[in-house]
Amino acid sequence: MKDLRRYLVLKYIQYLVLSSSNAISTFLGLLGSLYTIIILQSAKVSSKSTVVLISSLAKADILVSVSIVSEMVVWTFEVSISSTAFTSALLQNLLTANAHVSCLLLSCVAVEAYLITFFPTDSRHLRTVKNARLTSRIIWILVTAECALFQTDVLLKASSTSAPTRSPCVLLFHFSSTAAALLRSLSYFLGILLRIANVYIYYKIFFSMSNRSTLKTK
């Protein structure tokens, strides 16, 4: 569990502390995820709700790996791409999906830590493996739908340039473009709220643990 805690700290720094990912944090995050996936295969690791969330968090980095490998293949072998805009948007959406899934899963871990600290008995029926799997599945579905909308927006944008002004494709593009813009704004503000919520949760947990330690020493 100590290794899993270190992994969570690494992921919190990567997604909720740093304003944007860099090469070093991405590389360390990929190594940490690979190590975590290997650890979770061990029979010594018990199946708990937190472990389910961490497992889903580690698997989210597969999207980063796919994006990086794809870019390396294109750059190394000079593969010609028929639609550069579509492909670059697809690779960017993989990174977006990874970041959003990771932030939401980390926030779920923080909420669970809060429940364990302050409501250990009352929240036991909520902190189940089944609920953790359901939560992970819902997060993946929502983020997949989000990135599908972003990708559709790029596709319609390319199609609308050669279409008549009043064609259904252009009208659909305007709707998709507006929806994508609103969703990007919502994702941005949600990201800020998640950062604030995570800081508040761990602030409460830290001082709660400090007060308990002080009372024990007295």
- pLDDT tens figures, 99-156: 999 999 999 999 999 999 999 999 999 999 999 999 999 999 999 999 999 888 888 7
In this prediction, residue 179 has a pLDDT band, given cuts at 50, 70 and 90, of: confident
Instruction: Tell me what pLDDT residue 206 has.
Output: 87
Write down the domain spans for the chain: 1-215
- pLDDT tens figures, 41-97: 887 777 889 999 999 999 999 999 999 888 887 777 665 555 677 788 888 899 999
Q: Is residue 169's pLDDT more than 70?
A: no
21 secondary structure, DSSP code: -
Question: Using CA atoms, how far apart are residues 95 and 29, in angstroms rounded to an integer?
Answer: 13
Instruction: Tell me what pLDDT residue 78 has.
Output: 61
In this prediction, residue 198 has a pLDDT band, given cuts at 50, 70 and 90, of: very high
Question: Using CA atoms, how far apart are residues 194 and 192, in angstroms rounded to an integer?
Answer: 5
The answer to whether 91 touches 71, Cβ cutoff 8 Å, is yes
Question: Using CA atoms, how far apart are residues 27 and 88, in angstroms rounded to an integer?
Answer: 21
Going by C-alpha positions, the residue among 204, 197, 209 that lies closest to residue 16 is 197
- CA-based angle 16:107:207, to the nearest 5? 85
Name the architecture of domain 1-215: Up-down Bundle (1.20)
Question: Using CA atoms, how far apart are residues 176 and 193, in angstroms rounded to an integer?
Answer: 25
Structure tokens at 14: 């990567």
The answer to whether 103 touches 191, Cβ cutoff 8 Å, is yes
